[in-house]
Structure 1
Amino acid sequence: MRLRGGCRLSCYLLKYWRGESGGWGVALDIVLLPIEVVYRLCAHLRSLLYNMGFLTTRKLEVPVISVGNITVGGTGKTPFSRWIFERLTKIGMSPGLISGDWGRDEHLLHQSWNPKGNFVINREKSKGAEVAIIQGADVVIIDDGFQHLQLGRDVDVVLVAAEQDDSLKCLPRGILREPFEFISRADMVIVSRKTASKSVAERMVRKVADFVPEEKIGQIYLEFSCWTDIEGNPIGAPVGKQLVITSIAEPELLIEIVESKTGEMPESEIYRDHHDFTQSDLDYLRIRSEGYNIVITEKDGVKLKKFPDVLDNIHVLRLDMKWERGESRMIEMLRRIEERV
């Protein structure tokens, strides 16, 4: 796996957080322990100040649905947000979806899925929501909003990945943005899996159940659907040598899926998460990919499409979301939102 640019640091961090970094990781763990303790204390203090009313929460004139993570790394939040957006649209509502300015690739992905949708990018979620409401939204979906306590929400959903069942440490010693027990404030906790087995996902469900009633726990599977070209047209599976080019949070999961679907271990060029591909990247990759089938994700595809001379022989690996538990409860929560509008 070849790491490009700023991806090296993030990949080293992931190895450290998983306990795969050897002796230097143990030493770093000791050094970072006091920082993690302070981080946890600050998280608890912040939560307490909101609960006691010293820090205020703004309430919008339309219902708000927050979809977020309690960890760094991919959890399937984007396809889950898509499911909510399309479900609300199906029942006759006009949802607006707000993304932070670091998630422009996710914004482009949502636009490709629903070209007529109301999607807004704004670092300040409240201001982004105001724009969406002006544009006709009668319900707002906040992408990556679990920690954004400044904005009130009517439905609070947090996703945790079954593949991340290896750390209960907070930043900077682990992947948690907040102490794990903070999932208890969610209305619904969704356990997602891509490469993890059902038994591994069930282990995560049991961990979540220590803090959340079981009826509030859902489970989804992001399963391989098909291969497409960069325009989304179905094509056959890649045959021969493969080169994975991607800029997602956990590229090793993509590589694992590609190997399982093709029977071949691909080579790879890995960029940091949310990397915005440049013309110089394309010039390098064009030479690097000679003689290879290129494999990318939908998230990479929406960024590469902007180049008029996009790479040849691209295979987009498409994953679709499938419910394994909790769908009826989630639908009921959305139905209640509809009744209030």
Structure 2
Amino acid sequence: MRKLRLLLFPVAGIYYLVTLTRNKLYDTGIFKSKKYDVPVICVGNLSVGGTGKSPMTEFVVRLLQDDYRVATLSRGYGRKTKGYLDVNPENQATMVGDEPLQFAQKFNNIQVAVCEDRQTGIETLLSKVDPPEVVVLDDAYQHRKVGAGFYMLLTAYSDLYSNDFLLPAGNLREPRAGASRAEVVVVTKCPENLSSQEQLSIVDSLNVNKTQQVYFSTISYDEKVYSALGPVPLNRLKVKKVTLVTGIANPKPLSAYLASQGLSFSHEAYGDHHNFTSSEIEMLETLDCILTTEKDYVRLRPLLKMRDLFYLPIKAQFLDGEELLSGEIKNFVSGF
């Protein structure tokens, strides 16, 4: 695979020119980014693959939901519908996307919407009787038709954008210089014991500008797993024949965590946002106990009749600086 990607460097050069030109046209005002009369926060990344956007979006929602009418707006990746849709907990993931459905089922006092055109999405939200006071864009860093007021750029500890290359030779959606648009950079999925010295080394490698603050976060796993019947401690699953079923970009951290907790399991791994076929569902129905991610659970629950279907929630947990980041976000919203 690595050799194949090396052969694709000439194509990456063409992609570089296209994306660089597009960004320059927006930066110079030839292409227009539309701004709105409400605070718009964008959570995104430079690369394809999982950097932890959903847990970070949930962090922002938790921070603001008690004081403001908050709306999340996503593309609704993998859905079979098009255009603007309001998301409610009773929807199917195939209609609205798994991550927006996860937000709608978890937070009962926010608006959740999907629309591939973020301008249309924001304008539809703002036309409602009770419009949101804050809009959080999930995965819209490259959607430059909208000019967000606060950009949170995520990069995974194990795959820093500073060490990556443009598609198709690497995983970057745009040149590294695009990082300069962000107010803050968050290095996600870090080891909990990441030293201050290594943090400084990473900050140096990211080549951020003087106005950008860099934060470091890790994945925090819930102590309990959840099913339609409610929560139970994770260690209750040790007496069951567990199969871990994942349809996410990088299941290695989850697999390693479960192993560290002494859980024995087999693993059925599928691609990110995988739409399960009828034959796959039939196979999964034969399993004794399934443990999955929250994102996969919203897709699997309507399809599986089995009793022992559990998910393990996660949160973004900061190694340090959470109060400082929270203050930055709150100051942006209150001072808008």
Same fold (TM over 0.5): yes
Question: Can you list the C-alpha shifts for 1:158-204, whole angstroms capped at 9, x where unaligned?
Answer: 10010214942111111111222321220000111166751497253
Q: Which residue of 1 aligns with 2:217?
A: 220
Separation in 2, partners of 1:201, 1:105: 35
Separation in 2, partners of 1:70, 1:196: 24
Separation in 1, partners of 2:332, 2:6: 47
Q: Which residue of 1 aligns with 2:299?
A: 303
1:150 deviation in Å? 1.0
1:226 deviation in Å? 1.8
1:108 deviation in Å? 1.0
1:267 lines up with 2:251 in the alignment: no
Question: Does structure 2 conserve the Cα–Cα contact (< 8 Å) formed by 1:163 and 1:195?
Answer: no
Q: 76, 89, 100: which one pairs with 1:101? A: 76
Separation in 1, partners of 2:168, 2:147: 28
Q: Which residue of 1 aligns with 2:92?
A: none
Q: Which residue of 1 aligns with 2:65?
A: 89
Separation in 2, partners of 1:165, 1:111: 30
SS at match of 1:233: strand
Question: Does structure 1 conserve the Cα–Cα contact (< 8 Å) formed by 2:182 and 2:212?
Answer: no
Q: Which residue of 2 aligns with 1:159?
A: 154
Unaligned runs of 5+ in 2: 79-96
Q: Which residue of 2 aligns with 1:12?
A: none
Please tell me the residue identity of whatever aligns with 1:244. Answer: L
User: How does the TM-score come out when normalised to structure 2?
Assistant: 0.84
1:211 lines up with 2:208 in the alignment: yes
Separation in 1, partners of 2:112, 2:23: 29
Q: Which residue of 2 aligns with 1:337?
A: 332
SS at match of 2:7: helix
Please tell me the residue identity of whatever aligns with 1:330. Answer: L
Q: Which residue of 1 aligns with 2:307?
A: 312
1:126 lines up with 2:119 in the alignment: yes
1:183 lines up with 2:160 in the alignment: no
Please tell me the residue identity of whatever aligns with 1:219. Answer: F
Specify whether residues 236 and 334 from structure 1 end up closer, same or farther in structure 2 by C-alpha distance, changes over 3 A only.
Answer: closer
1:279 deviation in Å? 4.5
Separation in 2, partners of 1:58, 1:259: 47
Please tell me the residue identity of whatever aligns with 2:257. Answer: I
Q: Which residue of 1 aligns with 2:32?
A: 56
1:70 deviation in Å? 1.0
1:117 deviation in Å? 1.8
Question: Can you list the C-alpha shifts for 1:196-237, whole angstroms capped at 9, x where unaligned?
Answer: 7514972533322x2234861111111222231323523342
* Structure with more of its chain in helix, by fraction: 1
Question: Can you list the C-alpha shifts for 1:275-305, whole angstroms capped at 9, x where unaligned?
Answer: 2335543212112x24xx4221111112222
Separation in 1, partners of 2:28, 2:34: 15
Q: 89, 105, 125: which one pairs with 1:112? A: 105
Question: Does structure 2 conserve the Cα–Cα contact (< 8 Å) formed by 1:105 and 1:302?
Answer: yes
| Deviating more after overlay: 325-334 vs 73-82 | 325-334
Separation in 2, partners of 1:173, 1:197: 32
Specify whether residues 41 and 197 from structure 1 end up closer, same or farther in structure 2 by C-alpha distance, changes over 3 A only.
Answer: farther
1:267 deviation in Å? 2.0
Separation in 2, partners of 1:165, 1:331: 23
Question: Does structure 2 conserve the Cα–Cα contact (< 8 Å) formed by 1:96 and 1:129?
Answer: no
Separation in 2, partners of 1:279, 1:121: 26
SS at match of 2:222: strand
1:229 lines up with 2:215 in the alignment: no
Aligned residues: 310
Question: Does structure 1 conserve the Cα–Cα contact (< 8 Å) formed by 2:5 and 2:168?
Answer: no
Specify whether residues 140 and 295 from structure 1 end up closer, same or farther in structure 2 by C-alpha distance, changes over 3 A only.
Answer: same
Unaligned runs of 5+ in 1: 1-15, 17-24
SS at match of 2:272: coil
Q: Which residue of 2 aligns with 1:276?
A: 275
Q: Which residue of 2 aligns with 1:13?
A: none
Specify whether residues 121 and 221 from structure 1 end up closer, same or farther in structure 2 by C-alpha distance, changes over 3 A only.
Answer: same
Specify whether residues 331 and 165 from structure 1 end up closer, same or farther in structure 2 by C-alpha distance, changes over 3 A only.
Answer: closer
Question: Does structure 1 conserve the Cα–Cα contact (< 8 Å) formed by 2:76 and 2:99?
Answer: no
1:329 deviation in Å? 3.2
Question: Does structure 2 conserve the Cα–Cα contact (< 8 Å) formed by 1:161 and 1:193?
Answer: yes
Separation in 1, partners of 2:104, 2:189: 24
RMSD between superposed Cα atoms in Å? 2.3
